[in-house]
Amino acid sequence: MKYINKYKSPNYNSRKNSRIKLIIIHYTALKNTLDAVSYLCNKEKKVSSHYLISQNGTVYNLVKDKFRAWHAGQAFWQDNIDINSISIGIELDYNPRGKNNKFSLKMIYSLKKLIINLQKNYKINKNNILAHSDIAPFRKKDPGKNFPWHSLSSSNLVMSFKNLTKNEIKIIEKWFNNYNFKSKKHRIIFALSLIGYDTRKVNKNDILYNKLIRAYRIRYLKGQDKIKNKSIYNTLIKHLFNFLLTNS
């Protein structure tokens, strides 16, 4: 796969031998690719990503994989709080309020090729292809509600949820009962924490809980605009079961 290498960001440091485990997908929220390159390569901004993909599918390599790019910010996944050290950051030239407000076919094609390369090079589990909003649900929304996760799923790059049998549902329900979770909300929080989300403060804070649920809903329950514990719960049971089967 060919990359444009002539632009390099100074905003990186050492991974300190941390293993690359995650791929984080962002959008730039800027006017165009040139603005994004300028921003990500500006030393004063103190922000960068490893890759930037334009609307026409051109892939810019701004920071070498071996370095720790500064793309995740304050984030959390599976008890890790230094996400930059264990991840590759990919920015997409997309702005929900701009003329570049479509995830073009060429862009997504290049993204898929890049993910395949990275998964092969670093043995990245398909559970660990994440949205910025997955690792920072209380402050970030990208890549947003219009990002075509279904396209990545159909290409087997991210996990698909198989429907569960009645016996499989009973296994999960029994497991929840063993933990004495009496409400769906507590079960939802527990499942989200096992998958990797930051649930440390959501039990006693409804605002944070709703932001977390919104981030999950936008990715996994597209088209459902209201927070409904039943639909979230049913999806999470499938997610958790498939996650436990495929995580390694």
- Condensed to tens digits (0 to 9), the pLDDT of residues 67-111 reads 999 999 999 999 999 999 999 999 999 999 999 999 999 999 999
Domains of the chain with bracketed CATH? 12-154 (3.40.80.10), 166-246 (no CATH)
Residue 168 annotated in active site: no
Global confidence as pTM: 0.95
Cis amide bond preceding 96, omega within 30: no
Query: How far apart, in whole angstroms, are the C-alpha atoms of residue 214 and residue 133?
Result: 10
Which residue in the list 44, 91, 168, 173 is annotated as catalytic? 91
Q: Which residues contact 156 (CB under 8 A, 6 or more apart)?
A: 126
pLDDT, tens only, 13-65: 999 999 999 999 999 999 999 999 999 999 999 999 999 999 999 999 999 99
In tens, the pLDDT along 135-192 reads: 999 999 999 999 999 999 999 999 888 889 999 988 888 888 888 887 888 999 999 9
Which helix (H) or strand (E) covers residue 230, if one does? Answer: helix 229-246
Q: How many residues does the chain have?
A: 248
